């Protein structure tokens, strides 16, 4: 039977599951039905992606005046892809993001426009810090928002949180159980047979007692290595889809493999940089979008059997200036685009309220305004999909729960208490 691409995107194809089972026979493998909790994957686009140039109001006269040198057309060669309207304003998707058009049309992908961090910072590093700690205006918070979310859910898996970068993002600051795994096959210690095992056992003991700042991280490393090893990961991992080449795909494959290994993964984070398009935006943004959308498309289909438990959030620290600069680029701006992908997403829509691009509608007269706080988006996923009602702990500075209807799921009585100390015996920094 020929499987159409469309079915592949949305369907829970038993044929594909069977094929995968055959190929990976003999390995410990999570049956999708075994996974109790939803899994959230957070993709952070570092550098401030130009949401205005990805989902664009091409008909808007202000947009045309400010962007005519760097935008895509709505007809002809390289035309944008029609997404429909947000309010009464029609939007087009960047043509290099065609892989996302398919997910949007299959109603697995939703956009949230004019969203972001309401704090007005135009600094990458402050904005990321504020967002990831989950406390805008305060970057001395000692824990990240995902750390607090996980603390409230009492994870029981052996590897409940992973990040694929060289190091943990600020959203996992102070986490007692987050690990970084960029390559599952290589997640093992090198040594000479018995002597290697002796080293590992000795380090396990030493690092519980030295009082060094490495005690907790080394202990976490050693226990997660043992957990992964016990599940005998495929070497190399064989996905059921073809990912484009590149680092982003490698990270996504590591996450897909860990999901399938049944180690109790609940949250995974990964970074994709290169969005700081101050100069030569047209080729750079096009290439970034091509890689991002094709990689995520492959990842989503690789996890076709997990769609009902999977929510992927794509966010960035801020959007970019409406008016292009003389380097054919855009400088740091404010409001931006967020994306949510998953089997329980009310996709095919652009959520939020469009503030307009007339001078009076812009933030400080120059940048897209924000009408949806990024925490509104995350709160809805935390409650409806991750079944955590402790928003007072996760986002201590908000006091209202206002779901946009982004994802399906029932609401819960919100616990607005904070006091995360009791949940985090190892709060650091």
Partner 1 sequence: MSLSRRQLLLGAAVGATGAVVHEDVDAAPLQPSATEAMAKPPFEVIALSRMAYGALSGDYARVRTMGLTAYVDEQLNPNFAADTDCNTRIANAKLRIVYAAGTGFPAVDEMRGLDTLNKTQPELWELRVHPSNTERIRPVDEVVAANWIRAIYSKWQLFEIMTDFWHNHFNVWAYSDTRISALWPHYDKTVIRANCFGNFRDFLESVATSPAMLYYLDNSTSRDGPANENFARELFELHTFGSQNYLNNIYDNWQEVPRDNQGRPIGYIDQDVYEAARAFTGWTVADGVGGIPNTGVFHYVDTWNDNAQKIVLANFLNANAGPQVHGKAVLDLVAKHPATIRNICTKLCRRLVSDNPPKSLVDKAVAVWTANYDAPDQIKKTIRAILLAPEFLATWGGKIRRPNEVVAAYLRSTGAEVKPTAELFSWITICGYRMFNWATPTGHPDESGYWSSSNALLNTWNLLFHLQQAYFPPATFDLQGQMPSSVTTVRQIVDYWVMRMLGYQPSALVKTKLLNLMGQAGNLDAVPVGSANDVKLRLSSLVHMIGMLPEFYTR
* For partner 1, the closer CB: 43 or 55: 43
Residue 259 Cα distances to 10, 63, 99, 341, 419, angstroms: 19, 42, 23, 17, 31
Candidates 100-108, 195-203, 354-362, 407-415; binding stretch for partner 1 (CB under 8 A): 195-203
Site for partner 1 in 48-107 (CB under 8 A): none
Candidates 326-334, 336-344, 373-381, 383-391; binding stretch for partner 1 (CB under 8 A): 326-334
* For partner 1, the closer CB: 133 or 390: 133
Could you say whether residue 418 binds partner 1 (CB under 8 A)?
A: no
CB of 167 to partner 1, least distance (A): 4
Site for partner 1 in 267-286 (CB under 8 A): 273-274, 276, 278-279
Q: Is 330 exposed, middle or buried (0-12, 13-18, 19+ CB in 10 A)?
A: buried
Could you say whether residue 187 binds partner 1 (CB under 8 A)?
A: yes
* For partner 1, the closer CB: 171 or 379: 171
Could you say whether residue 360 binds partner 1 (CB under 8 A)?
A: no
Tell me how crowded residue 254 is: count the other CB atoms within 10 A of its CB. Answer: 24
# residues near partner 1 by CB under 8 A: 64
Contact 273, 47 (CB under 8 A): yes
Report the distance separating Cα 323 and Cα 329, nearest Å. Answer: 9
Identify the residue among 65, 125, 397, 421 touching partner 1 (CB under 8 A).
125
* For partner 1, the closer CB: 60 or 276: 276
Identify the residue among 120, 236, 246, 405 touching partner 1 (CB under 8 A).
120
Could you say whether residue 205 binds partner 1 (CB under 8 A)?
A: yes
Q: What share of the chain is helix, strand, coil (3-state, %, to 5)?
A: 35, 15, 50
* For partner 1, the closer CB: 26 or 192: 192
State the pairing for strand pair 336-342/109-116. Answer: antiparallel
Q: Is the dihedral of CA 170, 404, 36, 395 positive or negative?
A: positive
CB of 212 to partner 1, least distance (A): 4
Q: Is the dihedral of CA 294, 80, 373, 347 positive or negative?
A: negative
CB of 413 to partner 1, least distance (A): 34
Both tokens of 297, joined, read 């498309």
Could you say whether residue 198 binds partner 1 (CB under 8 A)?
A: yes
Cis peptide leading into 236, omega within 30 of 0? Answer: yes
Report the distance separating Cα 417 and Cα 395, nearest Å. Answer: 10
Identify the residue among 7, 12, 105, 220 touching partner 1 (CB under 8 A).
220
* For partner 1, the closer CB: 221 or 313: 221
Report the b/e string of 30-39 with b at 16+ CB within 10 A.
bebeebebbb
Residue 197 Cα distances to 40, 63, 179, 298, angstroms: 34, 63, 21, 38
Report the distance separating Cα 395 and Cα 376, nearest Å. Answer: 10
Could you say whether residue 353 binds partner 1 (CB under 8 A)?
A: no
Report the distance separating Cα 178 and Cα 172, nearest Å. Answer: 7
* For partner 1, the closer CB: 87 or 191: 191
Candidates 216-224, 231-239, 240-248, 302-310; binding stretch for partner 1 (CB under 8 A): 216-224
CB of 126 to partner 1, least distance (A): 5
CB of 297 to partner 1, least distance (A): 24
* For partner 1, the closer CB: 178 or 378: 178
CB of 139 to partner 1, least distance (A): 8
* For partner 1, the closer CB: 56 or 121: 121
Report the distance separating Cα 278 and Cα 327, nearest Å. Answer: 7
Both tokens of 11, joined, read 């369907």
Both tokens of 205, joined, read 């003991």
* For partner 1, the closer CB: 289 or 324: 324
Report the distance separating Cα 306 and Cα 304, nearest Å. Answer: 5
DSSP 243: P
390: helix, coil or strand?
coil
Both tokens of 167, joined, read 């190091």
CB of 429 to partner 1, least distance (A): 7
Identify the residue among 107, 212, 400, 402 touching partner 1 (CB under 8 A).
212
Phi, psi (5° rounding) for residue 44? -105, 120
Q: Which residues bind partner 1 (CB under 8 A)?
A: 46-47, 119-126, 163, 165-168, 173, 179-182, 186-187, 189-192, 195-196, 198-199, 202-203, 205-207, 209-215, 217-218, 220-221, 224-225, 273-274, 276, 278-279, 323, 325-329, 331-332, 364, 428-429
């Amino acid at each position: 039977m020929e499987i159409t691409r469309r079915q592949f995107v949305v369907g829970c194809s038993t044929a594909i599951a069977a094929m995968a089972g055959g190929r990976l026979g003999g390995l410990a493998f999570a049956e999708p039905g075994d996974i109790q909790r939803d899994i959230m994957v957070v993709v952070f686009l570092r550098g401030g992606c130009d949401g205005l140039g990805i989902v664009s109001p091409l008909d808007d006269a202000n947009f045309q005046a400010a962007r005519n040198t760097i935008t895509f057309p709505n007809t002809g060669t390289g035309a944008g892809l029609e997404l429909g309207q947000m309010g009464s304003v029609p939007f087009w998707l960047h043509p290099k993001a065609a892989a996302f058009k398919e997910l949007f049309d299959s109603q697995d992908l939703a956009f949230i426009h004019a969203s972001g961090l309401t704090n007005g910072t135009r600094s990458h590093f402050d904005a990321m810090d504020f967002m990831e700690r989950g406390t805008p205006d305060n970057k001395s918070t000692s824990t990240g928002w995902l750390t607090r979310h996980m603390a409230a859910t009492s994870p029981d898996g052996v590897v409940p949180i992973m990040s694929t970068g060289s190091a943990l993002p600020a959203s996992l600051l102070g986490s007692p159980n987050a690990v970084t795994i960029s390559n599952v096959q290589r997640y093992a210690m090198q040594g000479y047979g018995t002597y290697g095992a002796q080293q590992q056992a000795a380090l396990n003991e030493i690092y519980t007692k030295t009082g060094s700042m490495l005690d907790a991280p080394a202990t976490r490393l050693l226990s997660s290595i043992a957990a992964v090893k016990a599940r005998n990961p495929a070497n190399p991992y064989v996905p059921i889809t073809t990912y484009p080449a590149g680092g982003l795909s490698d990270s996504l494959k590591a996450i897909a493999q860990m999901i399938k290994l049944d180690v109790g993964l609940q949250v995974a984070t990964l970074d994709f940089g290169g969005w700081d398009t101050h100069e030569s935006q047209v080729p750079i943004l096009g290439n970034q979008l091509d890689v991002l959308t094709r990689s995520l498309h492959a990842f989503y289909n690789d996890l076709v059997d997990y769609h009902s438990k999977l929510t992927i959030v794509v966010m960035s620290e801020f959007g970019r200036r409406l008016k292009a600069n003389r380097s054919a680029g855009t400088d740091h701006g404010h409001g931006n685009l967020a994306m949510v992908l998953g089997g329980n997403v009310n996709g095919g829509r652009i959520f939020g309220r469009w503030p307009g691009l007339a001078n009076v509608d812009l933030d400080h007269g120059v940048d897209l305004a924000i009408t949806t706080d990024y925490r509104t988006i995350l709160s809805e996923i935390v409650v409806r999909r991750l079944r955590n009602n402790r928003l007072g702990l996760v986002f201590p500075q908000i006091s209202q729960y206002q779901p946009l209807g982004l994802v399906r799921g029932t609401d819960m009585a919100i616990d607005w208490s904070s006091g995360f100390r009791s949940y985090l015996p190892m709060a650091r920094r």
